[in-house]
């Protein structure tokens, strides 16, 4: 069915996200508002949703200052899609790239027209490369999309130059953020993709996502992290905080442009480690000490931005708590930093976090308590975000502290705050 015909299909059709394959264009027409058409698969790339949610330049201003110092590994790489078209791979290699990921497929009917040139060209230039699949969970089941990916360039072989396939699971470029799936259905979809990929190739895929999307759309599920490596996207200058289920990461996408074509990435390890990862199981080192406090700047969105806004209000600001770190939040951060004698750069790093957090316990109330409750909910310990630190909130805090190896006293002090926001 062509896409013109698909666009005419009634929106009342039901999309079954985790079951057998539906006719792809019919499924899209059923699930995606007319305003979101036409299709733009060439432009759907790793981080396209994240980039769209961040103001221009603020992404790179924060990355430039701190990205290099906050990552264990120093191996640079890139990920590309058909949007980059023909790439001069020898030039990319000469500028220091060690690895590359190339978009192969999207859904169950799109294959990148540039895949062969990019995939084979990067290997010919000496880069270790892999392929990635842009997931559309509302159009076909996880197993079906894994099979399509493998059949169109996404397979893996133990040849020392092929990285495991990557599942790009992120903000929906065509509609609702979570593709209309519940959190449990999304986890089931991801698990089906991962298990099918491993059955067919012998490797689990690496999962690419952001903490915000993961928390929103999977409930911060720890299930995939039991076996799938993590590719974290974070443009704030730090790879942390990580999604639930992962204590470390394998690849960090830290910017959407830079030295290389496409998105900029760093591998968490050495050249020898990258080769190990190409061959099989690799256990990356944990994030460096001191990175428990994330670096957050204008353009960030999600629970961490919400926490900052609640804490600023607890310190006397009058922000609208909406989870978007915009100009008003930056101005409030700068004013707070000035009042505390900190560098007034509008970026919430370790020093600003430690000045900003407020120790709270049972019996307390106010915006700081709401921040705790919101973070507990994001960490799969749901409580009412009502600003009253009652017995239910204390119980959730104790459970969280126990899970993190902290003193389980029910008091949210600096160490518990650091664990909550990381």
Answer whether 414's CB lies under 8 Å from 354's CB: yes
Tokens encoding 422: 């990381």
Tell the burial category of 341 from Cβ atoms under 10 Å away from its Cβ (0-12, 13-18, 19+).
exposed
Catalytic residue among 25, 109, 168, 256: 168
Q: Active-site residue 265, yes or no?
A: no
Catalytic residue among 41, 44, 70, 79: 79
Q: Active-site residue 79, yes or no?
A: yes
Q: Active-site residue 70, yes or no?
A: no
Tell the burial category of 15 from Cβ atoms under 10 Å away from its Cβ (0-12, 13-18, 19+).
buried
Catalytic residue among 41, 44, 147, 170: 170
Which is it for the CA torsion 31, 36, 38, 39, positive or negative?
Answer: negative
Answer whether 236's CB lies under 8 Å from 294's CB: yes
Cα(332)–Cα(350) distance, integer angstroms: 17
DSSP secondary structure of 395-413: HHHHHHHHHTT---SS-B-
Cα(115)–Cα(119) distance, integer angstroms: 6
CA angle 168/172/176 to nearest 5° reads 150
Answer whether 393's CB lies under 8 Å from 383's CB: yes
- The catalytic residues are 79, 168, 170
């Amino acid at each position: 069915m062509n896409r013109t015909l698909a666009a005419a299909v009634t929106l009342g059709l039901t999309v079954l996200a985790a079951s057998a394959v539906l006719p792809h264009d019919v499924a899209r027409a059923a699930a995606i508002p007319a305003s979101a058409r036409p299709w733009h698969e060439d432009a759907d790339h790793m981080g396209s949703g994240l980039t769209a949610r961040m103001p221009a330049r603020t992404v790179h201003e924060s990355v430039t200052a701190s990205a290099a110092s906050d990552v264990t590994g120093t191996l640079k790489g890139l990920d590309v899609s058909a949007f980059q078209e023909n790439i001069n791979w020898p030039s990319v290699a000469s500028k220091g790239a060690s690895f590359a990921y190339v978009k192969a497929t999207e859904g169950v009917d799109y294959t990148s027209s540039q895949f062969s040139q990019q995939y084979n060209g990067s290997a010919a230039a000496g880069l270790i490369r892999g392929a990635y699949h842009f997931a559309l969970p509302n159009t076909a089941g996880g197993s079906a999309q894994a099979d399509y990916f493998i059949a169109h360039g996404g397979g893996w072989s133990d040849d020392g130059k092929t990285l495991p396939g990557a599942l790009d699971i992120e903000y929906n470029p065509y509609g609702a953020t979570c593709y209309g799936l519940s959190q449990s259905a999304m986890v089931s979809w991801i698990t089906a993709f991962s298990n099918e990929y491993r059955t067919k190739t012998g490797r689990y895929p690496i999962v690419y996502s952001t903490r915000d999307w993961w928390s929103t759309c999977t409930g911060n599920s720890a299930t995939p992290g039991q076996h799938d490596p993590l590719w974290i996207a974070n443009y704030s200058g730090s790879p942390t905080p990580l999604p639930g289920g992962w204590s470390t990461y394998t690849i960090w996408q830290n910017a959407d442009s830079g030295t290389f074509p496409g998105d900029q990435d760093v591998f968490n390890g050495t050249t020898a480690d990258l080769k190990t990862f190409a061959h099989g199981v690799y256990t990356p080192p944990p994030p460096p000490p001191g990175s428990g406090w994330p670096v957050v700047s204008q353009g960030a969105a999600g629970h961490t931005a919400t926490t900052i806004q609640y804490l600023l209000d607890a310190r006397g600001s009058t922000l609208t708590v909406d989870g978007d770190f915009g100009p008003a939040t930056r101005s409030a951060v700068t004013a707070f930093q000035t009042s505390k004698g900190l560098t007034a750069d509008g970026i919430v790093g370790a020093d600003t976090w430690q000045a900003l957090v407020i120790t709270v316990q049972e019996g307390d109330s106010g915006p700081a308590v709401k921040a705790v409750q919101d973070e507990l909910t994001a960490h799969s310990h749901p409580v009412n975000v009502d600003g009253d630190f009652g017995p239910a909130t204390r119980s959730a805090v104790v459970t969280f502290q126990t899970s993190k190896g902290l003193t389980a006293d029910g008091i949210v002090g600096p160490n518990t705050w650091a664990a909550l926001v990381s």
